[in-house]
Amino acid sequence: MCIGPCSAGWNGLKCNKECSGEYYGINCSSKCGDCLNFEQCHHITVSCLNGCDLGVFGEKYASQCPAGQYGRNCVKICSQNCRFFHKCDRRSGSCQDGCESGWKGLKCESECNSNMFGAGCSRQCGHCLDRAQCHHINGTCPSGCDAGYTGDTCTDVCQPGSYGVGCNQKCSAFCSVSGICDHVTGACKQGCKRGWIGLDCLEVKEKDENNIRLYIIGGTLSISVIANVLMLVYVIHIRGKVKQLKTMDKYRKGQANSMKTTEGKYDTIIHSSNSDYQELGVMGQQPTN
């Protein structure tokens, strides 16, 4: 039996037992540092035989990792996606106050997915084209919006009267309420105007189509009849003019002939008169001896 205290690192009546239970020193009264997996430190040198536990460093492995560092010997850096960059668990590195917007996971190492974005990945993405994942932080759609939607986050529906991808297509004018249709498909919500069918009211009803054909044929025939009548009137008018001109020409020729006859008669009368005067002159002359 030992008289007096045992040397550092030993205990027992005969001072022949090493300190245990994570203690060391004189009478095994001092607590070991955070050795890996809570192992016993060396009973005399105090060193951890297999190194420090996670989150501590130093000669006696009693100092906790500084802010922003974690892991064995504090050589790892907390994720920059932690809500507060320098606050993570010194052992595991998990972010203690959650993640920055757009990130998830214990260490905030993963971007939001599954059509979620924002703080805690708690917000639903809008209607991105082909259901693509929106930006994990701000929710914008990388390739634009799906049919029927617009806006940066593709949450706004097309304005009344338009539909489709980019809201660039116009609703049919033959919708029951003109220009009002489904913002995605373009289907007329309240049916079609009379004479039209189809989701977008761009097909003519068969009965009405036949009527339209009849109207077209009838209209064509009417136009043809009117044209023929006008042509006939024109021909009659022309013929009348020709006849009138012929009559006038005949009349003028008759007048001319009449004048010639009158002139001939007048010449004959003049000639006869002149002869008579000549005879009278001869008869009036006295014979001379």
pLDDT, one tens digit per residue, over 257-268 is 655 555 555 455
Query: Pairing mode, if any, of strands 156-157 and 149-150?
Result: antiparallel
What pTM was estimated for this model as a whole? 0.54
In a domain, 119, yes or no: no
Q: How far apart are CA 82 and CA 138, in angstroms?
A: 17
Residue with the larger pLDDT of the pair 125 and 190: 125
Average pLDDT over every residue of 141-150: 95
In a domain, 190, yes or no: no
**Average pLDDT of every residue of the chain:** 80
In a domain, 133, yes or no: no
What are the tokens at 37? 């997996």
In a domain, 143, yes or no: no
Q: What is the pLDDT of residue 288?
A: 45
In a domain, 14, yes or no: yes
* Dihedral, CA of residue 27, residue 33, residue 34 and residue 35, to nearest 10: -70
Tally of domains within the chain: 1
Average pLDDT over every residue of 240-246: 68
In a domain, 234, yes or no: no
In a domain, 20, yes or no: yes
In a domain, 142, yes or no: no
Average pLDDT over every residue of 40-53: 80
Query: Do 65 and 57 form a contact (C-beta atoms < 8 A)?
Result: yes
Average pLDDT over every residue of 163-181: 91
Q: Residues with Cβ < 8 Å from 8, sequence gap 6 or more? A: 24, 25, 26, 44
Question: b/e per residue, 81-114, with b = 16+ CB within 10 A?
Answer: bbbeeeebbbbebebeeebbbbbbeebbeebbee
Specify the range with the lowest mean pLDDT, choosing from 26-30, 240-244, 260-264, 270-274: 270-274
- Domain extent, residue 58, equals 1-64
Which residues are paired to 255 by β-bridges?
none
Residue with the larger pLDDT of the pair 120 and 256: 120
Q: How confident is the model at residue 211 (pLDDT cuts 50, 70, 90)?
A: low
In the DSSP assignment, the letter for residue 187 is -
Q: How confident is the model at residue 216 (pLDDT cuts 50, 70, 90)?
A: low
What are the tokens at 25? 């020193």
